[in-house]
Amino acid sequence: MTRERRKSEPTQISELIAPVLENIQSMVDDGKIANADYTNDKIQDLAKRFILNCPTRFRRFLNMNLDAEYFEALDAGDSISIKGAVGAGKTTTALAIAYQWILKEVVKAEDLTTVIIEKLFFMVTSTDYMFSLRNSYEHGRAEGLREQYARVKLLLIDDLFATRINDNVHEEILYLINERYQWKRPTILTMNKSLNDVSEVDARIASRLGGGLVVDIGQKDLRTDDN
């Protein structure tokens, strides 16, 4: 039986600010953010502006409960590889990690000028990345595009190797992952393959990812399973 999707009710910004600030306070209590007053008007304004800059459909990710190990990995500049079946919630989990970590970084900096999410976080599938690169070759902008993805503060690569790809694609994905690995820029990846499976496609990529946090969220399809 397929579950009927419910239409989500619009959420007031004021309803989101309180739990976001609560999340920030818990980070302060856990020592993840130090030496600042996170209850003053400036920080409340910052949290509000951050939420307003989030696409409406992504705001719910700010209130998901997540393990501290995700943020510890990103703080260290490591990658997070999330493996699971189709529909298991890989992308949802990855987006929640991304938005909550970026919020933490923005608030930690206490800098209202860093609220523009698009300058802090990119999300792309490996297929779309290669499509963009091919288009950029035609206009002489490939190197600039590579650097843009290699240098962004946080990168999410969704559905790594979900489709058949050739050796050129392997090299481009390896370059991107390797650059971020070398410069300790955190990357979140989702895939339906294990690292052993990835190793059969490209052992060098599997080796880089194995140096970060690897999480298996299971094989249950949450979109179709009612139990």
String of DSSP letters for 110-175: T-GGG--GGGTEEEEEHHHHHHHHHHHHHTT-HHHHHHHHHHSSEEEEESTT-S---HHHHHHHHH
Q: Has residue 57 got a pLDDT over 80? A: no
Q: What is the mean pLDDT of residues 51-80?
A: 82
pLDDT for 144:
84
Model confidence at 214, pLDDT cuts 50, 70, 90, reads very high
In angstroms, the Cα distances linking 173 to 60, 184, 196, 214 are 30, 16, 17, 18
pLDDT > 90: percent of the chain: 23
Contacts of 144 (CB under 8 A, 6+ apart): 136
pLDDT of 140: 76
> Model confidence at 109, in pLDDT bands (50, 70, 90)?
low
pLDDT band at 105 (very low <50, low <70, confident <90, very high): confident
Amino acid (1-letter code) at residue 160: L
Stronger pLDDT, 101 or 113, i.e. the higher one? 101
pTM equals 0.76
Question: Can you list the domains of the chain with their CATH numbers?
Answer: 68-216 (3.40.50.300)
For residue 118, pLDDT over 80 is answered with: no
111: pLDDT strictly greater than 60: no
